[in-house]
Amino acid sequence: MKTRLVFLGPPGAGKGTQALIMAGKFSFARIATGDILREAIANESELGLKAKEFMRSGLLVPDEVVNEILREKLSSTDNGFIIDGYPRTIEQADFLQKIASIEMVIYFDAPEELLVQRIVNRRVCPRCNAVYNSVENPPKVENRCDNDGTELVHRIDDVEDVTRERLKTFWQKTAPLVDYYFSRDLLAKISAGKQLEEVTAEIEIAIGAI
């Protein structure tokens, strides 16, 4: 079974949701650059101050900032891991090649209008990063996290105009990584527009877990 994984795909494709499920099932470490940056913003740290305006506008945080985050997180990970939301540029992918040996990159393929709908209805737990959807995947108690009861929040970049900007950024900067990893024989494409459980099963088949 492949255990050193990257989840690649447009915003709203379900990378975070599936990374949490797979990490729970197989005890993989989960390295999610978006979550790390949001936490830094909430703590008003130096990193958060650097990242805030980029994220708020749907732009990428500079490569050198996220590369350092990744290097630090990977250095404390010895078993299997899922990297969610990194790399997002060719420069980041080249950096990753130097510091880790990735076994598989899962590409989450989904139609654009579905992504926008999923994002505007998304709610997240600021404490444990659990992801919900007010239409498709609501919490058991309205607006409260199933895990810890924390009040759910709407991400600042989950409004429609910023979402469209993020999608534009994805197609310009990140989509070229599909060819990058295909040519290195590392890419597995899954249909991320399906029901949650079906997507999980596709990933499990791709990595050789079932």
- Which amino acids are annotated catalytic? 15, 88, 122, 155, 166
Sign of dihedral through CA atoms 132, 58, 86, 10? positive
Q: Which residues, listed in sequence order, are joined to residue 153 by a DSSP beta bridge?
A: 124
Strands 122-124 and 131-133: antiparallel
Residue 16 in contact with ligand AP5, rule: CB under 6 A:
yes
What is the rounded CA–CA span in Å between residue 68 and residue 143? 34
Residue 139 in contact with ligand AP5, rule: CB under 6 A:
no
Q: Per-residue x/- marks for ligand AP5, 150-189, CB under 6 A?
A: -------x--------x-----------------------
Residue 26 in contact with ligand AP5, rule: CB under 6 A:
no
The torsion angles phi and psi of 82, rounded to 5 degrees, stand at: -120, 125
Residue whose Cβ sits closest to ligand AP5 = 34
Contact 110, 13 (CB under 8 A): yes
Stretch that binds ligand AP5, among 86-94, 96-104, 140-148, 178-186 (CB under 6 A): 86-94
Q: Which two tokens stand for residue 56?
A: 């708020």
Binding site for ligand AP5 (CB under 6 A): 9, 11-17, 33-34, 37, 54-55, 58-61, 66, 85-86, 88, 92, 118-119, 121-122, 131-133, 136-137, 157, 166, 195-196, 199
